[in-house]
Chains A and B, each alone.
Chain A
Amino acid sequence: MRHPLPGLGLALGITWLWLGLVVLVPLAALVIRPWELGPAGVWAVVTEPRVLAALRLSFGAALLAALVDMPIGLLIAWVVVRYRFPGRRLLDAAVDLPFALPTAVAGLALTALYAPNGWLGAPLAALGVKVAFTPLGVAVALAFVGLPFVVRSVEPVLRDLARDAEEAAATLGATRGQTLWRVVLPALGLALASGVALAFARAVGEYGSVIFIAGNMPMVSEIAPLLIVVQLEQFDYAAAAAIGLAMLGLSFLLLLGFNLLQRRLRRGLA
């Protein structure tokens, strides 16, 4: 039967209007605006040492944070799905906190916590580790905002994972460790990887939770989004747009490469 349901035209019309006005036209401005500087001008803006240092920090700390989130997220997803224990529901609900907590609040909270006189900052300082107002602080904030992406990507796959493969492995004499490593982990691999990619993508552009804890020292702990703000404050729209475009372009390339890698992995598994 051809669709007797009405409303496609109206729904699509509203959708494209909404998408076009709110997302596509503004993003077009971002893509077009930098080029009034000319290709050489754009290159000069994004290869300025301060900008390069900021891009390196934003992408490096985001990658580090996403990799740290991987084992933690896997652990939380695992115990929430597989075990029954007091506090499980609380754990499950609390995972979403970074989604719901305003980023500025997260930034303030982490700064208070990790400042040299904070609950965690003081003992760490005694050990000689400085977190707040250093690049490490940036990574801590980014790990915080990225964690739910890993947990929520792994959880549904783990929940739907049939137990018979594990039983078969056990019957065939595999130890529990071998089963986990050879059977369970490969099955979770793709979900885990896409969770890490989501956490990374979110962390690269993160602003609110970072600027309080970062200290924002040029060349050291200044993130790329902050440089956009700095350029805007000097009314240099084209340079601000150029940095924004560079961030988007780099993220896009990284995620594209990652998707290709993932596709290969999937083919290898099939």
Chain B
Amino acid sequence: MNPAIGEPRWLRWLLCLLALAVLGVVMLLPLAAVFTEALRRGLPPALAALADPDALAAVRLTLLVAAVAVPVNTLGGIAAAWAIAKFEFRGKRLLVTLIDLPFSVSPVISGLVWVLLFGAQGWFGPWLQARGIEIVFALPGLVLATIFVTFPFVARTLIPLMQAQGRAEEEAAATLGASGWQIFRRVTLPNIRWALLSGVLLCNARAMGEFGAVSVVSGHVRGETNTMPLHVEILYNEYQFVGAFAVAALLALLALVTLGAKALLERLGGRRLAGA
């Protein structure tokens, strides 16, 4: 490094140490606290809390909700990125803004909107009630709220990358007579696969970890409409701290695996992907 535009050695070390200290206090200490509290009475009580039937039901429900929400947003995200990155059309800027909208809405509002539509006194509430269809305080509500909060992840990861890649390769394939589906599968998909996977991972992490939005639309019925984050809250409010932190630790592990996988995918993709 040219000394004229670098900082003195002592200052560089000081700044690095300072940044690492901040990292330690801000990021690592909270993580360490979760695992310490979970293992406060040793491993067996923590594992017992995870093997509890209500906890297992929460895990199952969380997986189920993510299994619906993530594919929906992946499909929508790919379609949106394809249109926005490869074509010019009127209203494109509006569309980009609208796709980002759910990120600037409070999670609680993301849940509230579904209650306003499908709750007992919602627009469609009485109609649904007359037919015995439950959306809010049941599985469909959890799914809808989760789709809302995780809406932009895949689209936002793909759009900048696909814009940067341009459309020359796709046009060449079209000229050679490839069909739309063939172009997507053989040309576009291989170019975006790592970014796509990274976006899906982030979307999934948020879907499984969402709290505010699902808290509003969940009936908080143990073993029925409790996802893992909601189960954490219930246990915590009942002063079952080991159990609460054990489930929290499981969710923290999911976050760590997601971060590790994202770092790996960024290296595979050879470029930094736009984060959340």
Residue ranges of A at the interface with B (Cβ–Cβ < 8 Å): 1, 3-8, 10-12, 14-16, 18-19, 22-27, 29-30, 33, 72, 75-76, 78-80, 83, 85, 87, 89-106, 108-110, 112-113, 118-120, 144, 147-148, 152, 156, 163, 166-167, 170-171, 176, 179, 201-202, 204-208, 212, 224-226, 228-229, 232, 235, 237, 240-241, 244, 247-248, 251, 255
Contacts and interface: CB of A to CB of B under 8 A. Distances in A.
Contacts of B270: none
Given A72-B22, A102-B229, A104-B232, A23 B101 contact: yes
B119 A237 contact: yes
Nearest to A79: B19
A12 B89 contact: yes
A168 to B, nearest CB: 10
Given A99-B276, A100-B205, A100-B255, A251 B104 contact: yes
B31 interface: yes
A55 to B, nearest CB: 12
Interface stretch (B49-57, B126-134, B169-177, B189-197): B169-177
B117 A105 contact: no
Q: Which 8 A-B pairs have the closest CB atoms?
A: A205-B106, A102-B209, A26-B113, A208-B211, A207-B212, A18-B76, A109-B30, A6-B180
Q: Which of B102, B255, B262 has the most CB of A within 10 A?
A: B255
Given A5-B171, A99-B202, A104 B19 contact: no
A18 B148 CA distance: 10
B20 to A, nearest CB: 6
Contacts of A112: 33-34, 37, 245
A265 B249 CA distance: 44
B5 A166 contact: yes
B83 A105 contact: no
B188 to A, nearest CB: 10
Contacts of A208: 107, 211-212, 215, 229
Given A8-B87, A76-B22, A15 B80 contact: yes
A85 B9 CA distance: 12
Interface of B: 2, 4-7, 12-13, 15-16, 18-20, 22-23, 25-31, 33-34, 37, 72, 75-76, 79-80, 82-83, 86-89, 95, 98-99, 101-109, 112-117, 119-123, 144, 147-148, 151, 167, 170-171, 174-175, 179-180, 183-184, 202, 205, 208-212, 215-216, 228-230, 232-233, 236, 244-245, 248, 251-252, 254-256, 258-260, 262-263, 272, 275-276
Given A29-B117, A83-B12, A101-B255, A119 B29 contact: yes
Given A30-B116, A76-B19, A7 B180 contact: yes
B74 to A, nearest CB: 11
A105 B115 contact: no
B16 A205 contact: no
Nearest to A241: B116
A201 B151 CA distance: 17
A156 B272 contact: yes
B161 to A, nearest CB: 13
Given A7-B184, A15-B76, A100-B256, 4 more contacts: A15-B95, A83-B16, A91-B19, A104-B248
Nearest to B114: A26
Contacts of B244: 108
A94 to B, nearest CB: 5
